[in-house]
Amino acid sequence: MDLTDFIRGMPKSENHVHLEGTLEAEMKFALAKRNGMDLPFADVAAMKASYVYHDLPSFLAIYYDGMKVLQKEPDFYDLTYAYLAKAASQNVIYTEMFFDPQEHLKRGVAMADVIGGITRARHDAEQALGIRSQLILCFVRDLSAESAMEALDAALPFKADLVGVGLDSDEAGNPPEKFREHFAKARAHGLKVTAHCDVDQIDTLQNLRTVLTDLSLDRIDHGGNIVQSPELVAIAKERGIYFTVCPTFSGTLRRTEEVPVDIVRAMLDAGLNVTISSDDPAYMGSEYMDDVLIRAVERSALTREDLITIARNGFESAWLPEADKAAMVARLDAYVNAA
Ligand code: ADE
Ligand code: ZN
């Protein structure tokens, strides 16, 4: 079996995908129509042609503008179900999905509608398609700490529908310690904690150190610059930290040549626990899990063994009971043995 077919058939976990980043142009038009909104694009092709960015802020401007069509509970349902159906069609059997509630609260959408629509779709997709999923509330780090706390407080009545909190958006001037109290409160309520450390950001190594040591987070999203610091690599390995790496976006953000080789390759070679995900596929050429992995084979010189390690890491890093993770790893092992 060639590696492309091997990837397509492999049971997978996706642990770094922003639901609002799966909002395809076609659905944006459909939701705008349903909600009586006008969009400043003639058609899908024109909208997609506007998805041009060169760094994190220019990406985020497009991403936040696009999500304004999400207004009502059924919009969040449709968005989530469409992603889960796509993922299930690529043998993603488990996924942990981010969402950015502050952006929706700002527009007057109720937290109950955001989490309610997503949760209803999660349950329906599990019933109909067999894909299991959980939800991670992201703090939008360039909004105020107060705004993030308001979102957390508004979400806590629904904490049974959440598995953790995360930290995304623009890192410049918004270090992880800005959210120290939020992380502590989330943990006190039984939630896991992760944070984006996007590639080649200002203070990137300092922020990696903070999340690894001071804040002692449970996972790191992206985090590729860690290979520049043998000391931080050693700490991450000692702590058994998993990294949710999104090579499509990391490739866009690369600004320096200080990381000499491909990030996924460098992280694997450093002995770090790497998983691979699609991040914001609707804004990244509609490349979902299989597409990202297939591209990574070339880009990062992945072998069959690397792919199996990455898939196993996806399950082992999941925020699930040990027995459930073991059952998913067993499914992967059975696939590998039969392939
Ligand atoms: N929001 C959506 N995708 C993101 C990313 N990759 N980094 C930071 N914020 C994001
Ligand atoms: Zn991300």
pLDDT digits (tens, 9 = 90+) for 234-281: 999 999 999 999 998 877 776 666 555 799 999 999 999 999 999 999
pLDDT digits (tens, 9 = 90+) for 290-336: 999 999 999 999 999 999 999 999 999 999 999 999 999 999 999 99
What is the rounded CA–CA span in Å between residue 76 and residue 70?
7
Cα first-last separation, the chain: 7
The domain total for the chain is: 1
What is the rounded CA–CA span in Å between residue 198 and residue 109?
28
pLDDT digits (tens, 9 = 90+) for 1-25: 799 999 999 999 999 999 999 999 9
Ligand 1 mean position, distance from CA 19 (Å): 11
What's the average model confidence in pLDDT over 121-149?
98
* Overall residue count recorded for the chain in this entry: 339
**Token duo for residue 93:** 């059997």
Pocket probe mutation, ligand 1, options 63, 65, 103, 253, max atoms within 8 Å of Cβ: 63
Tell me, using a 6 A CB cutoff, whether residue 300 lines ligand 1.
no
Question: Which CATH number does the domain housing residue 321 bear?
Answer: 3.20.20.140
The protein residue with its alpha carbon nearest to ligand 1, atom 9, reads 169
| Owning domain of residue 190 | 3-338
Is 212 buried (19+), middle (13-18) or exposed (0-12) by CB count in 10 A? buried
**Residue 322 and residue 195 in contact, taking contact as beta carbons nearer than 8 Å:** no
Instruction: Return the ligand number nearest the Cα of 141.
Output: 1
Q: Which residues fall within 8 angstroms of residue 38, CB to CB, at 6 or more apart? A: 32
Residue written as token pair 């997609």: 48
